């Protein structure tokens, strides 16, 4: 082996060592930088919306924000809302809705500015209402399909 071939071999080896050294330093820098990032708190998962899908990929449950209000929605197999739990921005009080989209009926249980409300509705509208009225008095009303009150019971003096 002559001197020139030996020098050429050493130069090749030197170039390879330089490339490997640069790659190792870069990899070490990446690992150090990754170690500096703060991991999320244990048990905390943050997102704007969570969607649960069935085996066919159809959304069946959603937890997220809608118009600035937190909502949890369960849908039936046809994608129609069946259960809705929310805290609307106004009046910033909880509400639960159970729906039967085929019959256009709904049970509403909500907190309002005047107190709790229970509505039983069908395609004609609200048919029965149990609530606290503006005077902070109990109220019970039943309405026919045309929207006329069949009877109403309240204690108007109680809230004065």
* Burial group, residue 153, by CB count within 10 angstroms (0-12, 13-18, 19+): exposed
Name the residue among 102, 108, 154 with its Cα closest to residue 128. 108
Token pair belonging to 105: 């009926």
- pTM > 0.75: yes or no: no
**CA pair distance 105, 41, nearest whole angstrom:** 43
User: Which tens digits make up the pLDDT trace of 15-33?
Assistant: 888 888 888 888 888 888 7
Of 143, 139, 83, nearest to 112 (Cα)? 139
**pLDDT, tens digit (0-9, with 9 covering 90-100), for 38-79:** 766 777 788 889 999 999 999 999 999 988 899 999 999 888
Residue 6 burial (10 A CB sphere; 0-12, 13-18, 19+): exposed
CA atoms within 13 A on the CB side of 66: 12
Q: Round to whole Å and give the CA distance between 105 and 56.
A: 27
Residue 157: what pLDDT?
59
- Which residues, 6 or more positions from 90, have their beta carbon under 8 angstroms from its beta carbon? none
**86-125 pLDDT per residue, tens:** 998 888 889 999 999 888 899 999 998 888 899 999 988 8
Task: Report the distance separating Cα 51 and Cα 110, nearest Å.
Answer: 24
């Amino acid at each position: 082996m002559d001197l020139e071939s030996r020098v050429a071999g050493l130069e090749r080896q030197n170039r390879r060592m330089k490339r490997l050294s640069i790659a190792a330093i870069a990899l070490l820098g990446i690992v150090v930088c990754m170690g500096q990032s703060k991991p999320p708190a244990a048990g905390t998962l943050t997102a704007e919306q969570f969607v649960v899908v069935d085996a066919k990929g159809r959304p069946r449950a959603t937890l997220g924000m809608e118009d600035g209000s937190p909502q949890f929605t369960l849908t039936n197999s046809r994608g129609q809302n069946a259960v809705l739990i929310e805290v609307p921005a106004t009046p910033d009080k909880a509400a639960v809705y159970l729906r039967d989209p085929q019959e256009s009926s709904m049970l509403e249980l909500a907190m309002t500015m005047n107190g709790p409300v229970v509505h039983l509705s069908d395609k004609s509208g609200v048919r029965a209402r149990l609530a606290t009225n503006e005077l902070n008095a109990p109220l019970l009303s039943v309405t026919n399909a045309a929207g006329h009150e069949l009877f109403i019971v309240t204690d108007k003096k109680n809230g004065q």
